[in-house]
Amino acid sequence: MRSPGGGCWLTGLAGLLLAKGALAAPFAWVSNQTGESLTIVDLGRLEPVQELPLSGGPAGVAVAPDGTAVFVTTPASHRLHRIAADTRAVTHSREVGPAPLGVCIDPAGQRIYVADWDLDRVDILSASDLSPLGSIATGASPSGMDITPDGRLLLIAERDDNSLAVHALPSGERLARIPVGEAPFGVTAAPDSRHAYTANVRSHDVSRVDLASLRETARVRVGASPYALAIDPVRGRAIVSNQHDDSVELLLLEPFGVLGRHTVGEYPEGVAHDPATDAFLVANWFSNSLMVLDAGSLEVRAEIPTGNGPRAFGRFVGPR
C-alpha cells in the first residue's frame, strides 16, 4: 500500500472556506478497517482532529441525523458500537451477527439497522442503548443499506442475489426484490425519496430504481468495480467510486447519464457529499487518505491522511 506521506494539502479555495467561517462545518468519521481505528476529520479546517482506536476492523458507519452519535460495525469482532460525538467515546457495544457490515439509522434517530453478510439478515437495534428490537430476513449477502429521507422505506443491496430489496418501515415488510446489476454493494436513496441507486461491483454499472413502480428504470456503465455513491442534491449530480480504476464517475441524475471520470487516490471506497462545505469526500483505501473534492468542479481541495485502510462505508458525515 502506498501512503499519502502525511500532511494535508490545501488549495486557495479551501483557504477561502476557512476565511469565511467554515469552522462550523461537520465532521467526517472515517472507519479504518486494517488500521482498527476511526479518523475524525474537521471538514471546516480540513484536518484530522483525532484517531480513535477501535478494534475488530471497523467498516460500516452511520452518523445520527442530529450528529450526537456515530454507529460503527466491526466485522472481525462481530459487534456494533455507539460512539458519543461530543466525548468521542464508545458508550455502548453489542455483539450482533458474525459478519456485520452495512449500517444505517432512521431519520428520526431512533432505530439502527445492521446488515449481516453471513446470516442474510438485518438486525434492528435501539439507537439509545443498542438493545435488540427485531430482525429482517434478506437475500444473499446484504451489504449496503439506506433509508429514504421520508423514513418510509429501507433499501438493502443483496449482493449475491443481484437485487435491491425494498422494505416498508417501521413494519419491516418486504415490498419488492428488484433485479439490478451484478453484485450491488452500495445503495443510496435520492433526497426526494423517489429513486434509489445501486453500485454494481461485477457488472461495472449503476442502476436507477423507481421507488413508486419498484423497478429498475435505467442503468449506466461506469468504471471498474463501482462501490458506493453520493448525491449532490443542489446540482442533481452524483459521484460513484470506481475501486479498480482509482477514479470517481460523475453522474447526472436527470436525465440519467455519465458526465465524466476523475482520478482520485488508490482504491476509492466510501464517498459522501457535504452540503455545508459544498464538497464530495472520497476515502481511498490504498492511499490511506480522505480526498476532498469541490462539488462543482471536482477539483481537489485537500487530501487528508487517515489510518490504514479507510473504508467509510455508509453515511459517515454529520453535524458537530
Question: For the segment 225-235, what is each residue's pLDDT rounded down to a tens digit?
Answer: 999 999 999 99
**pLDDT number for residue 4:** 31
Mean pLDDT calculated for residue range 73-96: 97
Distance CA 275, CA 168 (A): 28
The confidence band for 24, taking pLDDT boundaries of 50, 70 and 90, is low
Q: Which region among 1-5, 112-116, 217-221 has the lowest average model confidence (pLDDT)?
A: 1-5
Residue 259 has pLDDT above 80, yes or no: yes
Segment 105-125 mean pLDDT: 97
Tell me the sheet residues that pair with 283. Answer: 290
Percentage of the chain exceeding pLDDT 90: 92
Q: What domains can be seen in the chain, in order of their start residue? A: 12-318 (2.130.10.10)
Q: How much is the pTM?
A: 0.91
Task: Inform me whether the pLDDT recorded for 86 exceeds 60.
Answer: yes
Three-state helix/strand/coil letters over 129-159: CCCEEEEEECCCCEEEEEECCCCCEEEEEEH
Q: Mean pLDDT of all residues in the chain?
A: 92
What is the model's pLDDT at position 21? 37
Radius of gyration of the chain (CA): 18
Give the HSE-up count for residue 91: Cα atoms under 13 Å, Cβ half-sphere: 16
Tell me, letter by letter, the H, E, C secondary structure of the chain: CCCCCCCCCCCHHHHHHHHCCHHHCCEEEEEECCCCEEEEEECCCCEEEEEEECCCCCCEEEECCCCCEEEEEEHHHCEEEEEECCCCEEEEEEECCCCEEEEEECCCCCEEEEEECCCCEEEEEECCCCCEEEEEECCCCEEEEEECCCCCEEEEEEHHHCEEEEEECCCCCEEEEEECCCCEEEEEECCCCCEEEEEECCCCEEEEEECCCCEEEEEEECCCCEEEEEEECCCCEEEEEEHHHCEEEEEEECCEEEEEEEECCCCEEEEEEECCCCEEEEEECCCCEEEEEECCCCCEEEEEECCCCECCEEECEECC
